[in-house]
Structure 1
Amino acid sequence: MSELLGFVAASLVVIVVPGPDLTLLLANTARSGRRAGHATAAGIMLGHAVLATAAVAGLTALLAASQVGYAILRVAGALYLIYLGVQSLADFVRLRRGAVGDAAAPNAVQRVPAATGRVGRAAFRQGLISNLLNPKVAVFYLALFPQFTLPGLGTTAAHSVLAGVFWLMCLLWFVLVLLLLARVETLLCRRGVQRGLAGASGVGLVGLGAALALRG
């Protein structure tokens, strides 16, 4: 039980620290509404499920052992984050120029229409790809699991349990975030707030992408 509690504590720190997933979720919610946020979270969670399964199967060990493969995935992930960040910054510029509504009323409410199927699919795809292309997430699974053992379980079974616990914790975290965003949906519709979130998320995504590319 102490091993499991230690794993939960370590996972909690990793999950709640802001990173690309949360930044992208906030950006898509501010840009396209609550449904886009839900779709983004669903894509992120599918990415976690794929990476957790790969970790249990030992595939992430191959990634960590291959410098070339890791470098390719790292650069691809970094470029994708920068691409998403540039999109958010473009939204910031558009809103700053007053392309939506009257620029003289920065706090006027801008009603965001419900996300269409196309917007929802795009948000889902962004969440999935950004998660899968982050090698730090894959290596995290590889580095964290071996540090914890569950008495009475073999390695594969123990890693499967830990992967399931981590996935459920991620799910609960995003549910809480989405519930909070739903409570402040009216605030998110304000042009000034949208502009601020677009600028902050754009800078954040570009910065995270650059850090991932340079960190090696």
Structure 2
Amino acid sequence: MRRDRVSGQLWAFIGACLAVIVVPGPDLALLLRNAAVAGRSAASATACGIMTGNTILATAAVAGLTALLQASGPLYNGLRLVGAAYLIYLGVRALIDLTRRRPAPAEPQSVPVAPALPGRLAFRQGLLSNLLNPKVAAFYLALFPQFSLPGMPTLAQHTLLAGLFCLLSLIWYVLLIAVLGRVQTWLQRRTVQRSITGASAAALITLGTGLALQG
């Protein structure tokens, strides 16, 4: 009976995680934008940064640090505003890049992607996008208490759930990067690059503005 309950809780947790991971947000918008601008390698570096941020926040949640962050109103709001400003900054930079990359009429529609975004910068963007979003930390804080695994201490439960969430996130990004690799030629088309960059810029600015205006 206990084993069935544990299994049910784990499957419910996996379902909740998948719903959160797959829903588009600033991390996905940034990754797609970097993939369109600089190709699969930049997307991979961005995903590594996002996963590093996820791991740091999961560890902080297990240690109880996210609870302290949310309990401190000024600190939480300060992080929220910094994160919002960073998302808006990324969106504006994407729009600036979009206007600078306007092709001439005689320019070919498909060209090799230039290494315009170094891997180190893409990694840092992914890391900061994840870490500076207090909603991610609040998600860890709100999600873990909703699931209970009978027969396990609280610390062990939260460690297992955090590890499972990070594993599912890793699988998602590996699959996403693999798909981007398959459509690399399509991503190299200038019309596609401009469309993805424009949509991602609008998403980042919208998400950043929404985060800034949160109560």
Name the TM-score, length of structure 1 as normaliser: 0.94
Q: Deviation at 1:113?
A: 3.2
Q: Deviation at 1:63?
A: 0.7
The DSSP-based 3-state class of the residue aligned with 1:18 is coil
Pick from 42, 47, 50 the counterpart of residue 44 of structure 1. 50
> 2:206 — aligned with what?
207
Aligned sequence identity (%): 59
Return the alpha-carbon distance in structure 2 between the equivalents of residues 82 and 114 of structure 1. Answer: 23
> 1:64 — aligned with what?
70
Is contact 1:88-1:199 (8 Å) kept? yes
* 1:146 equivalenced with 2:152 (yes/no): no
The DSSP-based 3-state class of the residue aligned with 1:90 is helix
After the TM superposition, which residues 105-120 of structure 1 pair with which residues of structure 2 at under 5 Å, given as runs?
Answer: 105=107, 108-114=109-115, 119-120=118-119
> 2:122 — aligned with what?
123
Contiguous gaps of at least 5 residues in structure 2: 1-6
Aligned residues: 209
Q: Deviation at 1:95?
A: 2.4
Is contact 1:39-1:124 (8 Å) kept? yes
Return the alpha-carbon distance in structure 2 between the equivalents of residues 103 and 188 of structure 1. Answer: 19
> 1:18 — aligned with what?
24
The DSSP-based 3-state class of the residue aligned with 2:111 is coil
> 1:181 — aligned with what?
180
> 2:4 — aligned with what?
none
User: Which amino acid in 1 is paired with 2:105?
Assistant: A
Is contact 1:92-1:196 (8 Å) kept? no
The DSSP-based 3-state class of the residue aligned with 2:118 is helix
> 1:76 — aligned with what?
82
Is contact 1:81-1:209 (8 Å) kept? yes
Return the alpha-carbon distance in structure 2 between the equivalents of residues 91 and 110 of structure 1. Answer: 17
* 1:91 equivalenced with 2:93 (yes/no): no
> 1:27 — aligned with what?
33
Return the alpha-carbon distance in structure 2 between the equivalents of residues 148 and 164 of structure 1. Answer: 14
Return the alpha-carbon distance in structure 2 between the equivalents of residues 109 and 195 of structure 1. Answer: 12
